């Protein structure tokens, strides 16, 4: 398995500083690494490189950018599989029973804001920061105006629940096996979600607790573009990258 990292823009063959610690760790451990410059459609791999699949580790890519990457080299995760974990429309239905009730809106339809009810709005991949929490229909309508969402672009609107401070944790799942930082085990209640997300090869799973102490799945993400959050680089490398390197992916 190759591990491909992004170049620093306008500096070919220089890894982007954000990804440098992981890239250098992987190289030091003898994992096969390469660099990609998507601005110029260039890939740098070891010479000679054996035919194999690649895992990208880098910035979030749009669907079109990931398609371009897939044309440059054989990827272990296809463009369709990437979107199945990266976009909420790809994973929500599979885990709806394990996460906040949500809906995809293409226009600011009336929602129930009675009795102080609130919602959490985000794009298909990330939130709008403090503006994501909506307490009125006016705020929902403003989302389309403020963020200039193209017509037909879904807004992911979720029932809002207060989370217990510092309770959110990121797990990485490789071939159905979940890995947590500092050796943490995925709570048993979330294992049904992992089963529901099969056969995805590599994704992240963010879990937390509500203020009432109820465990909840927050969201799913593509593992290639998920940052490490509470993970030390070396532990991520030893446990997650090495598990990926050992995965039996046919070229």
Whether residues 63 and 107 share a domain: the answer is no
The SS3 of residue 64 is: helix
Whether residues 105 and 211 share a domain: the answer is no
> Could you give the CA distance from residue 170 to residue 226 in angstroms, rounded to a whole number?
9
Whether residues 20 and 126 share a domain: the answer is no
pLDDT digits (tens, 9 = 90+) for 166-206: 999 999 999 999 999 999 999 999 999 999 999 999 999 99
- Whether the upstream peptide bond of residue 17 has omega within 30° of 0, thus cis, is no
| Pair 57, 5: CB distance under 8 Å | yes
Helix runs in the chain, H state only:
20-28, 63-72, 79-86, 88-95, 137-146, 191-196, 233-236, 242-246
Tell me: pLDDT of 11 over 90: no
Q: Residue 101: how many CB atoms within 10 A of its CB?
A: 11
Q: What is the CATH number of the domain that holds 204?
A: 3.30.470
CA atoms within 13 A on the CB side of 250: 0
Tell me: pLDDT of 251 over 60: no
- Whether the upstream peptide bond of residue 234 has omega within 30° of 0, thus cis, is no
**pTM higher than 0.85:** yes
pLDDT at residue 107, as a whole number: 87
> Could you give the CA distance from residue 247 to residue 33 in angstroms, rounded to a whole number?
16
Domain around 196: 85-96+164-227
Whether residues 139 and 172 share a domain: the answer is no
Tell me: pLDDT of 124 over 70: yes
pLDDT digits (tens, 9 = 90+) for 23-76: 999 999 999 999 999 999 999 987 665 658 999 999 999 999 999 999 999 999
> Could you give the CA distance from residue 211 to residue 164 in angstroms, rounded to a whole number?
4
pLDDT range class, residue 13, cuts 50, 70, 90: confident
Residue with tokens 């992987």: 26
pLDDT digits (tens, 9 = 90+) for 80-117: 999 999 999 999 999 999 999 999 999 889 999 999 99
Whether residues 184 and 146 share a domain: the answer is no
CA atoms within 13 A on the CB side of 36: 25
Task: Provide the number of structural domains found in the chain.
Answer: 3
CA 164 to chain centre: 22
């Amino acid at each position: 398995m190759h591990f491909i990292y992004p170049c620093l823009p306008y500096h070919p063959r220089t890894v982007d500083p954000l990804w440098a610690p992981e890239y250098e760790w992987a190289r030091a451990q003898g994992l096969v690494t390469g660099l990609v410059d998507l601005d110029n459609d260039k890939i740098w791999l070891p010479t000679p490189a054996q035919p194999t699949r690649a895992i990208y580790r880098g910035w979030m890519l749009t669907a079109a950018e990931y398609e371009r990457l897939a044309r440059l080299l054989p990827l272990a995760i296809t463009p369709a599989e990437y979107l199945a974990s990266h976009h909420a429309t790809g994973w929500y239905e599979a885990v709806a029973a394990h996460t906040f009730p949500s809906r995809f809106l293409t226009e600011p339809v009336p929602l129930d804001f009675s009795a102080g009810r609130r919602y959490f709005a985000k794009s298909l991949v990330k939130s709008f920061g403090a503006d994501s929490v909506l307490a009125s229909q006016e705020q929902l309508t403003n989302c389309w105006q403020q963020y200039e969402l193209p017509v037909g672009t879904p807004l992911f609107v979720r029932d809002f629940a207060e989370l217990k401070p510092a309770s959110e944790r990121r797990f990485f799942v490789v071939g159905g096996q979940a890995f947590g930082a500092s050796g943490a085990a995925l709570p048993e209640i979330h294992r049904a979600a992992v089963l529901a997300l099969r056969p995805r090869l590599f994704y992240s799973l963010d879990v937390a607790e509500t203020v009432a102490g109820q465990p909840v799945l927050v969201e799913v993400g593509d593992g290639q573009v998920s940052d490490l959050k509470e993970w030390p680089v070396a532990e991520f490398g030893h446990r997650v990258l090495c598990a990926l390197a050992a995965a039996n992916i046919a070229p």
